[in-house]
Protein backbone atom coordinates (compact mmCIF):
# COMPACT_ATOMS: atom_id res chain seq x y z
CA UNK A 1 0.00 0.00 0.00
CA UNK A 2 1.07 3.55 -0.61
CA UNK A 3 1.65 4.54 2.98
CA UNK A 4 3.62 1.53 4.22
CA UNK A 5 7.38 2.09 4.44
CA UNK A 6 7.97 -1.51 3.44
CA UNK A 7 6.35 -1.41 0.02
CA UNK A 8 5.47 2.16 -0.80
CA UNK A 9 6.58 4.11 -3.83
CA UNK A 10 5.26 7.21 -2.07
CA UNK A 11 7.92 6.94 0.61
CA UNK A 12 10.61 6.50 -2.01
CA UNK A 13 13.76 6.69 0.03
CA UNK A 14 12.20 4.45 2.70
CA UNK A 15 13.08 1.52 0.44
CA UNK A 16 16.78 2.41 0.41
CA UNK A 17 19.23 0.00 2.09
CA UNK A 18 19.83 0.41 5.80
CA UNK A 19 22.07 3.29 6.73
CA UNK A 20 22.28 4.89 3.27
CA UNK A 21 20.16 7.96 4.00
CA UNK A 22 21.52 11.06 5.68
CA UNK A 23 21.88 14.80 5.34
CA UNK A 24 21.62 14.61 1.55
CA UNK A 25 18.25 12.83 1.61
CA UNK A 26 15.62 14.52 -0.52
CA UNK A 27 11.96 13.65 -0.10
CA UNK A 28 9.66 13.00 -3.02
CA UNK A 29 7.12 15.66 -3.94
CA UNK A 30 3.55 15.56 -2.73
CA UNK A 31 1.60 14.95 -5.95
CA UNK A 32 -2.04 16.05 -6.19
CA UNK A 33 -3.28 15.62 -9.74
CA UNK A 34 -1.04 17.69 -11.99
CA UNK A 35 0.27 19.70 -9.04
CA UNK A 36 3.52 18.92 -7.23
CA UNK A 37 4.60 20.37 -3.88
CA UNK A 38 7.85 20.19 -1.94
CA UNK A 39 6.08 21.07 1.31
CA UNK A 40 3.64 18.55 2.76
CA UNK A 41 2.01 21.20 4.95
CA UNK A 42 -1.10 22.86 3.56
CA UNK A 43 -2.50 25.82 5.47
CA UNK A 44 -5.63 27.92 5.57
CA UNK A 45 -5.99 31.68 5.29
CA UNK A 46 -8.84 32.45 7.68
CA UNK A 47 -9.05 33.77 11.25
CA UNK A 48 -5.92 35.93 11.16
CA UNK A 49 -5.96 39.32 12.85
CA UNK A 50 -4.85 41.01 9.62
CA UNK A 51 -3.73 40.26 6.10
CA UNK A 52 -0.22 41.26 7.13
CA UNK A 53 -0.20 38.63 9.86
CA UNK A 54 -1.52 36.10 7.36
CA UNK A 55 1.31 36.96 4.96
CA UNK A 56 3.94 36.42 7.63
CA UNK A 57 2.45 33.17 8.94
CA UNK A 58 2.08 31.65 5.47
CA UNK A 59 5.69 32.49 4.68
CA UNK A 60 6.90 31.00 7.98
CA UNK A 61 4.93 27.79 7.37
CA UNK A 62 6.81 27.04 4.16
CA UNK A 63 3.54 25.93 2.61
CA UNK A 64 3.11 26.13 -1.14
CA UNK A 65 -0.62 25.35 -1.24
CA UNK A 66 -3.14 27.40 0.74
CA UNK A 67 -6.89 27.09 1.10
CA UNK A 68 -9.36 29.90 0.52
CA UNK A 69 -13.05 29.81 1.39
CA UNK A 70 -14.53 31.50 -1.67
CA UNK A 71 -17.96 31.92 -0.05
CA UNK A 72 -16.39 34.11 2.64
CA UNK A 73 -14.65 36.52 0.26
CA UNK A 74 -16.48 39.64 -0.88
CA UNK A 75 -15.37 39.81 -4.50
CA UNK A 76 -17.04 43.21 -4.96
CA UNK A 77 -15.45 44.99 -1.99
CA UNK A 78 -12.67 47.49 -2.76
CA UNK A 79 -9.25 45.93 -2.09
CA UNK A 80 -7.50 47.06 1.10
CA UNK A 81 -4.06 48.69 1.04
CA UNK A 82 -1.55 46.11 -0.11
CA UNK A 83 -4.13 44.24 -2.13
CA UNK A 84 -6.84 41.67 -1.45
CA UNK A 85 -6.17 38.22 -0.03
CA UNK A 86 -6.24 36.65 -3.49
CA UNK A 87 -3.86 39.28 -4.87
CA UNK A 88 -1.43 38.71 -2.00
CA UNK A 89 -1.51 34.94 -2.49
CA UNK A 90 -0.83 35.29 -6.21
CA UNK A 91 2.11 37.61 -5.54
CA UNK A 92 3.45 35.08 -3.05
CA UNK A 93 3.40 32.35 -5.68
CA UNK A 94 1.06 30.09 -3.73
CA UNK A 95 -1.15 27.48 -5.33
CA UNK A 96 -4.67 28.44 -4.28
CA UNK A 97 -6.91 25.61 -3.13
CA UNK A 98 -10.50 26.89 -3.02
CA UNK A 99 -12.72 25.12 -0.54
CA UNK A 100 -16.46 24.76 -0.17
CA UNK A 101 -16.55 25.66 3.53
CA UNK A 102 -20.04 26.49 4.71
CA UNK A 103 -21.82 24.20 2.25
CA UNK A 104 -24.41 21.77 3.63
CA UNK A 105 -25.50 19.94 0.50
CA UNK A 106 -23.92 18.37 -2.54
CA UNK A 107 -25.76 20.80 -4.81
CA UNK A 108 -24.43 23.81 -2.92
CA UNK A 109 -20.88 22.45 -2.86
CA UNK A 110 -20.90 21.66 -6.58
CA UNK A 111 -22.17 25.15 -7.41
CA UNK A 112 -19.47 26.74 -5.26
CA UNK A 113 -16.77 24.59 -6.88
CA UNK A 114 -17.86 25.59 -10.38
CA UNK A 115 -17.83 29.26 -9.37
CA UNK A 116 -14.33 28.86 -7.90
CA UNK A 117 -13.06 27.31 -11.12
CA UNK A 118 -14.48 30.19 -13.14
CA UNK A 119 -12.95 32.84 -10.87
CA UNK A 120 -9.58 31.26 -10.08
CA UNK A 121 -9.03 29.17 -13.20
CA UNK A 122 -8.13 26.02 -11.28
CA UNK A 123 -9.60 22.54 -11.19
CA UNK A 124 -8.35 22.06 -7.65
CA UNK A 125 -11.04 22.04 -4.97
CA UNK A 126 -11.16 21.04 -1.34
CA UNK A 127 -14.62 19.58 -0.96
CA UNK A 128 -16.41 20.16 2.33
CA UNK A 129 -20.06 19.18 2.73
CA UNK A 130 -21.02 19.63 6.36
CA UNK A 131 -23.86 17.81 8.05
CA UNK A 132 -24.36 19.86 11.18
CA UNK A 133 -23.57 23.51 12.03
CA UNK A 134 -22.84 22.75 15.69
CA UNK A 135 -20.31 19.93 15.28
CA UNK A 136 -19.20 20.82 11.72
CA UNK A 137 -18.92 17.10 11.02
CA UNK A 138 -19.04 16.13 7.32
CA UNK A 139 -22.14 14.61 5.76
CA UNK A 140 -20.85 11.32 4.32
CA UNK A 141 -23.73 10.75 1.89
CA UNK A 142 -23.71 14.25 0.41
CA UNK A 143 -19.91 14.25 0.34
CA UNK A 144 -19.84 11.08 -1.76
CA UNK A 145 -22.51 12.41 -4.13
CA UNK A 146 -20.61 15.67 -4.64
CA UNK A 147 -17.30 13.85 -5.15
CA UNK A 148 -18.70 11.72 -7.96
CA UNK A 149 -20.21 14.72 -9.76
CA UNK A 150 -17.15 16.95 -9.41
CA UNK A 151 -14.84 14.20 -10.67
CA UNK A 152 -17.17 13.77 -13.65
CA UNK A 153 -16.82 17.49 -14.33
CA UNK A 154 -13.03 17.29 -14.39
CA UNK A 155 -12.20 18.60 -10.92
CA UNK A 156 -9.20 17.50 -8.88
CA UNK A 157 -11.09 16.78 -5.66
CA UNK A 158 -9.49 16.75 -2.22
CA UNK A 159 -12.21 15.48 0.08
CA UNK A 160 -12.68 16.44 3.72
CA UNK A 161 -14.26 13.45 5.45
CA UNK A 162 -14.64 11.68 8.75
CA UNK A 163 -12.08 9.08 9.79
CA UNK A 164 -14.29 6.24 8.52
CA UNK A 165 -12.12 3.74 6.57
CA UNK A 166 -15.08 2.47 4.53
CA UNK A 167 -16.01 5.98 3.42
CA UNK A 168 -12.38 6.70 2.57
CA UNK A 169 -12.34 3.70 0.25
CA UNK A 170 -15.61 4.76 -1.37
CA UNK A 171 -14.25 8.25 -1.99
CA UNK A 172 -11.14 6.81 -3.58
CA UNK A 173 -13.30 4.61 -5.82
CA UNK A 174 -15.33 7.70 -6.76
CA UNK A 175 -12.16 9.30 -8.13
CA UNK A 176 -11.03 11.55 -5.28
CA UNK A 177 -7.50 12.88 -5.73
CA UNK A 178 -6.94 12.88 -1.97
CA UNK A 179 -8.86 11.71 1.07
CA UNK A 180 -8.65 14.12 4.01
CA UNK A 181 -9.86 12.52 7.24
CA UNK A 182 -10.37 14.73 10.26
CA UNK A 183 -8.11 14.16 13.23
CA UNK A 184 -10.86 15.58 15.43
CA UNK A 185 -13.66 18.17 14.99
CA UNK A 186 -12.80 21.35 13.07
CA UNK A 187 -11.05 23.94 15.23
CA UNK A 188 -11.17 21.78 18.36
CA UNK A 189 -7.41 21.43 18.79
CA UNK A 190 -7.87 17.92 20.19
CA UNK A 191 -5.33 16.32 17.87
CA UNK A 192 -5.79 12.83 16.45
CA UNK A 193 -8.46 11.14 18.53
CA UNK A 194 -8.56 7.83 16.69
CA UNK A 195 -5.15 6.89 15.31
CA UNK A 196 -6.29 3.32 14.70
CA UNK A 197 -8.89 4.44 12.16
CA UNK A 198 -6.28 6.61 10.50
CA UNK A 199 -3.90 3.65 10.31
CA UNK A 200 -6.61 1.55 8.64
CA UNK A 201 -7.28 4.33 6.11
CA UNK A 202 -3.56 4.58 5.35
CA UNK A 203 -3.44 0.83 4.73
CA UNK A 204 -6.63 0.79 2.64
CA UNK A 205 -6.32 3.55 0.05
CA UNK A 206 -3.73 4.36 -2.59
CA UNK A 207 -4.43 8.08 -3.01
CA UNK A 208 -2.65 10.59 -0.75
CA UNK A 209 -4.13 10.83 2.74
CA UNK A 210 -3.92 14.34 4.19
CA UNK A 211 -4.97 14.74 7.81
CA UNK A 212 -7.33 17.70 8.04
CA UNK A 213 -8.97 19.42 11.01
CA UNK A 214 -8.60 19.30 14.76
CA UNK A 215 -4.83 19.49 15.10
CA UNK A 216 -3.69 21.90 17.78
CA UNK A 217 0.08 21.96 18.06
CA UNK A 218 3.32 20.76 16.51
CA UNK A 219 3.28 17.34 18.17
CA UNK A 220 -0.09 16.61 16.54
CA UNK A 221 1.39 17.35 13.13
CA UNK A 222 4.47 15.22 13.80
CA UNK A 223 2.29 12.34 14.97
CA UNK A 224 0.14 12.47 11.83
CA UNK A 225 3.22 12.38 9.63
CA UNK A 226 4.86 9.61 11.69
CA UNK A 227 1.76 7.47 11.10
CA UNK A 228 2.41 7.80 7.36
CA UNK A 229 0.08 10.59 6.26
CA UNK A 230 1.05 12.19 2.96
CA UNK A 231 0.46 15.62 4.40
CA UNK A 232 -1.39 17.79 6.90
CA UNK A 233 -3.81 20.67 6.42
CA UNK A 234 -4.55 23.10 9.23
CA UNK A 235 -5.63 26.66 9.91
CA UNK A 236 -6.95 27.36 13.41
CA UNK A 237 -3.88 25.90 15.14
CA UNK A 238 -1.75 28.61 13.55
CA UNK A 239 -4.15 31.53 13.27
CA UNK A 240 -5.46 31.04 16.81
CA UNK A 241 -2.08 30.70 18.50
CA UNK A 242 -0.74 33.47 20.75
CA UNK A 243 2.14 33.86 18.29
CA UNK A 244 0.81 32.74 14.88
CA UNK A 245 4.03 33.31 12.96
CA UNK A 246 6.09 31.35 15.46
CA UNK A 247 3.51 28.55 15.51
CA UNK A 248 3.57 28.43 11.70
CA UNK A 249 7.32 27.83 11.84
CA UNK A 250 6.83 25.13 14.48
CA UNK A 251 4.26 23.39 12.28
CA UNK A 252 6.64 23.43 9.32
CA UNK A 253 9.44 21.86 11.36
CA UNK A 254 7.08 19.29 12.88
CA UNK A 255 5.80 18.27 9.45
CA UNK A 256 9.34 17.81 8.18
CA UNK A 257 10.49 15.95 11.30
CA UNK A 258 7.48 13.64 11.32
CA UNK A 259 7.95 12.79 7.67
CA UNK A 260 11.65 12.06 8.12
CA UNK A 261 10.93 9.90 11.18
CA UNK A 262 8.37 7.89 9.19
CA UNK A 263 10.80 7.30 6.36
CA UNK A 264 13.64 6.49 8.78
CA UNK A 265 11.48 3.91 10.58
CA UNK A 266 10.98 3.90 14.34
CA UNK A 267 12.19 1.08 16.57
CA UNK A 268 9.55 -1.37 17.79
CA UNK A 269 7.98 -0.77 21.19
CA UNK A 270 8.98 -3.30 23.87
CA UNK A 271 7.64 -4.04 27.32
CA UNK A 272 11.08 -4.52 28.83
CA UNK A 273 14.35 -2.62 28.58
CA UNK A 274 16.83 -3.24 25.80
CA UNK A 275 20.44 -2.22 26.45
CA UNK A 276 21.68 0.50 24.12
CA UNK A 277 25.28 -0.81 24.28
CA UNK A 278 26.33 -4.26 22.99
CA UNK A 279 26.91 -6.85 25.71
CA UNK A 280 29.29 -9.04 23.68
CA UNK A 281 32.55 -9.48 25.59
CA UNK A 282 31.20 -8.13 28.88
CA UNK A 283 32.01 -10.28 31.92
CA UNK A 284 29.11 -12.10 33.59
CA UNK A 285 29.71 -10.20 36.82
CA UNK A 286 29.20 -6.88 34.98
CA UNK A 287 25.97 -7.94 33.30
CA UNK A 288 24.51 -9.37 36.50
CA UNK A 289 25.17 -6.25 38.53
CA UNK A 290 22.44 -4.29 36.81
CA UNK A 291 24.68 -2.11 34.66
CA UNK A 292 22.76 0.11 32.22
CA UNK A 293 25.79 1.07 30.13
Question: Domain spans of the chain?
Answer: 12-288
Helix (H, G, I), strand (E, B) or coil at 127: strand
Confidence of residue 175 (pLDDT cuts 50, 70, 90): very high
How far is the C-alpha of 64 from the C-alpha of 231, rounded, in Å? 12
Report the percent of the chain where pLDDT is more than 90.
Answer: 70
CATH number attached to the domain at 12-288: 3.20.20.70
Q: How far is CA 142 from CA 17, 65, 108, 156, in A?
A: 45, 26, 10, 18
How far is the C-alpha of 276 from the C-alpha of 142, rounded, in Å? 53
42, β-bridge pairs? 233
Q: What is the pTM of this model?
A: 0.86
Range 22-49 average pLDDT: 91
Range 205-231 average pLDDT: 96
What 27-30 contacts at long range (C-beta under 8 Å, 24+ apart), as own/partner pairs, is: 27/259, 27/260, 27/263, 30/208, 30/230, 30/231
269 is catalytic: no
Instruction: Please measure the distance between the N-terminal and C-terminal CA atoms of the chain and give it in whole angstroms.
Output: 40
Range 262-291 average pLDDT: 73
Looking at residue 11, its pLDDT comes to 41
Q: How far is CA 98 from CA 58, 65, 149, 188, 214, in A?
A: 16, 10, 17, 22, 19
Looking at residue 80, its pLDDT comes to 76
Asked if pLDDT for residue 293 goes beyond 90, the answer is no
Higher pLDDT, 248 or 283: 248
What is the average pLDDT value for the chain, to the nearest integer?
88
Label the pairing between strands 156-161 and 210-212.
unpaired
Contacts of 83 (CB under 8 A, 6+ apart): 91
Q: Which of 47, 126, 169, 269 is catalytic?
A: 126
Amino acid sequence: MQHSPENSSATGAAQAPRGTLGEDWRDEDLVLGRFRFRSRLLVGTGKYASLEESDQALAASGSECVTVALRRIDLHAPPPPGGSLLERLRRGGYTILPNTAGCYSAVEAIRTSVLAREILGTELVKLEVLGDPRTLLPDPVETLVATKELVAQGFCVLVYASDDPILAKRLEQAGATSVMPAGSPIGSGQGILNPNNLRIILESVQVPVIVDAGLGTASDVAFAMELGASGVLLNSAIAGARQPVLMARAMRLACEAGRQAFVAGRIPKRLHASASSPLDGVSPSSTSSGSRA
